[in-house]
Amino acid sequence: AAGVIQSPRHLIKEKRETATLKCYPIPRHDTVYWYQQGPGQDPQFLISFYEKMQSDKGSIPDRFSAQQFSDYHSELNMSSLELGDSALYFCASNRDRSSYEQYFGPGTRLTVT
Amino acid sequence: AQKITQTQPGMFVQEKEAVTLDCTYDTSDQSYGLFWYKQPSSGEMIFLIYQGSYDEQNATEGRYSLNFQKARKSANLVISASQLGDSAMYFCAMREGQGGYGGSQGNLIFGKGTKLSVKP
């Protein structure tokens, strides 16, 4: 069965650079969530999209932006990277509003040096 | 205030024994969902089990069962017959109702996790 795809899996950037993380949800999943998990921390919700519209916002810094495209894939854009942005970034998707399970992708490990 | 509390930072269990991982939650919503995820050292988040707030029976999935005590707001995970491959971080999570049944919408709120180590 198809799973959530995230790319790249690993990314190394320097401070003040920009990064773009991509998420391809499971086919026919219309809702995408982004989470950030710092080292030794629990995942924290950043932002979500439903049917290509932003549906909820969590603790996402102003330096970050995200969108969901017509094919339902989503991109998280991160600018002016800081050392504290080093984390595992997960994307998760939902089939529809009647489905409870949130399927997680393998994550993108971002290291800022 | 913490919405999801996992009071056991680390747990040890002997292989083949059962283990209970504790989780308490705080919500004023009537409709919500409770989840357990496993995160091995490789980093992926693996869905284990789900309990909806309106479900009257405790959820079970193979060796995993969820001991749901609504009045106490607890949702403990029971792993029977532990295996070495069960060694991982376990997260309890909640999704509060934003419409839909059993908290089917909205982001997950995670606890701090419990690191389970299975001893041979």
Q: What digits encode the pLDDT tens for the residues B27-68?
A: 988 888 899 999 999 999 999 999 999 888 999 999 999 999
Neighbours of A22 (CB within 10 A): 16
- Best residue in A29, A36, A42, A94 to probe B by mutation, most B CBs within 10 Å? A42
Structure tokens at B27: 């919500």
The answer to whether the beta carbons of residues B95 and B86 sit under 8 Å apart is: no
Pairs of residues, one from chain A and one from chain B, whose beta carbons lie less than 8 Å apart:
64
Instruction: Say how far apart CA A20 and CA A24 lie, in whole Å.
Output: 13
Contacts of B62 by beta carbon, 8 Å cutoff, 6+ apart: none
Using left for φ > 0, alpha for ψ between -120 and 50, and beta otherwise, residue B99 falls in: left
For residue B94, list its beta bridge partners: B34, B109
Q: What percent of chain B has pLDDT over 90?
A: 78
| The predicted structure's pLDDT at residue A99 | 66
Instruction: Say how far apart CA B13 and CA B23 lie, in whole Å.
Output: 18
Name the one residue in this structure whose structure tokens are 């942005």: A85
| The predicted structure's pLDDT at residue A102 | 85
| The predicted structure's pLDDT at residue B106 | 78
The answer to which of A103-112, B66-75, B93-102 has the lowest mean pLDDT is: B93-102
Q: Which residues 51-80 of B are in CB contact (within 8 Å) with A?
A: 52
Name the one residue in this structure whose structure tokens are 């950037």: A13
Predicted confidence (pLDDT) at residue B97 exceeds the cutoff of 80: no
| The predicted structure's pLDDT at residue B100 | 45
Predicted confidence (pLDDT) at residue A77 exceeds the cutoff of 80: yes
pLDDT tens string A59-73: 899 999 999 999 999
Neighbours of B15 (CB within 10 A): 13
> Shortest CA distance to A34 belongs to which of A81, A11, A3, A68?
A68
The number of CA neighbours under 13 Å toward the Cβ of B93 is 30
Contacts of B10 by beta carbon, 8 Å cutoff, 6+ apart: B114, B115, B116, B117
Question: Kind of pairing, strands A31-37 and A87-94?
Answer: antiparallel
**Alpha-carbon distance values, B25 to A9, A27, A45, B8, B35 (Å):** 32, 32, 17, 14, 11
Structure tokens at A11: 């990314």
Q: Could you say which of A35, A88, A98 has the minimum Cβ distance to residue B101?
A: A98
| The predicted structure's pLDDT at residue A98 | 58
Confidence of residue B104 (pLDDT cuts 50, 70, 90): very low
Contacts of A111 in chain B (CB under 8 A): none
CB-count exposure of residue B19 (10 Å: 0-12, 13-18, 19+): buried
Q: Look over chain B and give the mean of its residue pLDDT values, rounded to a whole number.
A: 91
